[in-house]
Chains A and B, each alone.
Chain A
Amino acid sequence: MPYLELKNIEAGYQKNKPILKNFNLSLEKGELVSILGPSGCGKTTTLRTIAGFMAPSRGSIIINGIDYTNKPPNKRNIGLVFQSYALFPHFTVFNNVAFGLKMRKTPNDVIKKKVDHLIDMVGLNGLEDRLPGQLSGGQRQRVALARAMVIEPSLLLLDEPLSNLDARLRINMRSEIRKLQKKVGISMLYVTHDQAEALSLSDRIIVLHSGKIEQEGTPENIYARPSSPFVAKFMGFENNFDSEAAEIDEKNIVIKAGSEFVKTELYPNIKKGDKISAFFRPDGVALALKKTENSIKGKVKTVTFQGGNTQYFVQTELGEFSVVIYEKHPSFSEQPVYLEFPEGSIILKRREAE
């Protein structure tokens, strides 16, 4: 039996318009699962429902075999890290972290020991007496983490915890959160709209799209094999074209690309003659001056050097595609080129009959 289980949850702000409908989710003990999706997809609703701030109109929430559906939030022992951190501005760092323990009437010496331990763990030694207003964004983030973790919650929920930090700090905090989670062995549900964040720290990712789970799997799996156009776009497969499976042998599928043909890996559910959509990443393809085996003809329309890489917009008979090449200087100008597809760079999705 999974550690956390949401069964047939229906929840939302308005009665007749639930954001989550018949929603199921599970999480194993010690697992870090990310819920990934654009804003409005229902990730925050999921989190607030688990935390107890939103009552589901249907379904149940089970943690460790106990029904939590009707428990008030203050009796759930679920840690929550807010996007805004929600630190108490009138309490010092120490008192912020100690808050949950005080609510549990923990003896003072135990509080001191536990809080000191957590403050040490998140690296805030020496800042115990500061007020939140005197801390940097990264430090506040750490206080929020320590405060939620000190109560030894049965589950830690994080709501876009890094979205208010600058890019460099965000990357540091990512690995720190992952390390902390591994060390403590806590179960975490992590909500984000940033695919890089989800990919880098999760055991498993759940991609959410308008209240429904679009795809679920390991980061590697989701990154390489998105199962729907939505996930494909979200994972950076920005280019797509309509096509048809022309030929299938034991190893490859050959698909139509306008007046030409390219081949890619096999897809078990695609048969010859199927109408399909093909997706590829801007940085998954190459450009060449001469015709090569797996390529189509095009013409460079714009060249934008971005430092470290160059972005080209290439016009082909299938439409305009974005191509990113990692190079020190742009190596193509506005000229005819061939767009080359390395093995496995194109993913396919069967189009339903129209």
Chain B
Amino acid sequence: MRQIHQNRTILFLVFIPLIFIVIFFLVPLFFVLIESFYSKAGRFTLIRYINFFMDSRNLFIYLRTLKLGLIVTIFAVILGYPTAYVISNAKAGRRSLLMSVVILPLMTSPVARTYAWLIILGRFGLINQSLKAMNLIKTPLRLIYTENAIIVGLLQLFLPLMILSLVSAMENIPDDLEEAARSLGAGWLKGVLLIIFPLSMDGLILGATLVFTGSITAYVTPAILGGTRVLTLSTLLRQKSLVLMDWEGATIVAVVMVLTTLILYILLRKLRPKLI
């Protein structure tokens, strides 16, 4: 009797939101997925995927997207680790200030954030003007519409995610442990390497997952800083759909993006250590 009553409550709670998400999220995605695997005659086929990857331009863009994601992730770890260490050891007041500044890039309008890099990297931007003033160059360097520009832009956006995951992992490590290591004769660096690093591995992997998947699916940054010259999967998707109206091709790009993201999620989740 109680069970029935409870089931009714759950159904009542879940019903409307579930209908919403099924209709406006699952079904549309499912359509796209199905569409990509079936020929016009209604038969299952992988031909579109084969064609997609056989096209060297597509393959190049796909690999470039992964490469950019990897580079951004590596830099995020290198820059994020010491930063997170400092934040997690800071006193409450300073910590709160440091954190609120860290999340700023995540909260700011992506167009505004990326536009700033145009001003810095542009033809008449900060870097070119400074180099010119120092007489190091005569004609401006082409800094935007390059892979490096995309990397810099993505790093600014996703470094905060790495820092946040690392900080929350490091804060779960009791201060006692580092002190115990020191009292047993470990220097500062050894304490970090032997205690903090392995115990924050979970945060590192979570951060890497977010940064990597975020980087390979981001749109605004490659759109503004890469333009049509340096296409990534996401700018390719936009080009195929909204510009070229090649809906079939766009569908393939979309599914490739989703599957790549999901596979990365699953793989990296497997890497996460299980502490008892």
Residues of A whose CB lies within 8 Å of any CB of B are 51-53, 72-80, 82, 84, 86-90, 99-100, 103-104, 131, 133-134, 147-148, 151
Q: How many residues of B contact A (CB 8 A)?
A: 21
* CB-contact partner of A100 in B184, B187, B199, under 8 A: B184
Q: What's the Cα separation between A78 and B176 when bound, in Å?
A: 15
User: Is B181 on the interface with A (CB-CB < 8 A)?
Assistant: yes
A55 to chain B, nearest CB (A): 14
Assembly CA distance A88 to B181 (angstroms): 9
B185 touching A103, Cβ below 8 Å: yes
A80 touches B276 (CB 8 A): no
The yes or no answer to B104 lying at the interface (CB within 8 A) is no
Q: Which residue of B lies closest to A95 (CB)?
A: B194
Say whether A73 contacts B179, CB under 8 Å: yes
- CB of B182 within 8 A of chain A? yes
Task: Please judge, given known A-B contacts A103-B190, A133-B276, whether A86 and B174 are in contact too, CB under 8 Å.
Answer: yes
The 4 lowest CB-CB distance pairs between A and B, nearest first, are: A133-B276, A86-B176, A100-B184, A103-B185
A153, closest chain B residue (CB): B183
Residue of A nearest to B191 (CB): A74
Contact with A along B166-194 (1 / 0, CB 8 A): 00000000101101111111111010001
- B186 → A minimal CB distance (Å): 5
B275 at interface, CB cutoff 8 A = yes
The answer to whether the Cβ of B198 comes within 8 Å of any Cβ in the partner chain is yes
Residues from chain A with Cβ under 8 Å of B194 in the complex: 88, 99
Q: Are B179 and A80 within 8 A (Cβ)? A: yes
Given known A-B contacts A89-B199, A131-B276, A133-B275, A80 and B185 have beta carbons under 8 A apart: no
Secondary structure type dominating chain B contacts? helix
Contact of A82 among B180, B190, B195, B275 (CB under 8 A): B180
With A84-B174, A86-B176, A134-B276 as known contacts, state yes or no: A78 contacts B183, CB within 8 Å: yes
With a cutoff of 8 Å between Cβ atoms, the chain A residues found around residue B176 in the complex are 82, 84, 86
- List chain B positions with a Cβ less than 8 A from chain A: 174, 176-177, 179-188, 190, 194-195, 198-199, 273, 275-276
Beta-carbon contact of A90 and B185 below 8 Å: no
Task: Indicate whether A77 sits within 8 Å of B185 (C-beta atoms), given known contacts A86-B180, A88-B195, A103-B190.
Answer: yes
Q: How far is the CB of B71 from chain A (nearest CB, A)?
A: 30
A147's nearest neighbour on chain B, judged by CB, is B184
17 residue pairs from A and B, CB less than 8 Å apart: A51-B179, A53-B182, A72-B187, A73-B179, A77-B185, A78-B183, A88-B180, A88-B195, A89-B275, A90-B199, A90-B273, A90-B275, A103-B184, A103-B186, A104-B185, A147-B180, A148-B183
- Taking a contact as CB atoms under 8 Å apart, the answer to whether B177 and A86 are in contact is yes
CB distance from A14 to the nearest CB of B (A): 11
Task: List residues of chain A with CB within 8 A of the CB of B174.
Answer: 84, 86
Q: How distant is the Cα of A148 from the Cα of B187 in the complex, in angstroms?
A: 16
CA distance in complex: A236, B273 (Å)? 50
Contact call B184/A151, Cβ cutoff below 8 A: yes
In the complex formed, the residue of A with least CB distance to B186 is: A103
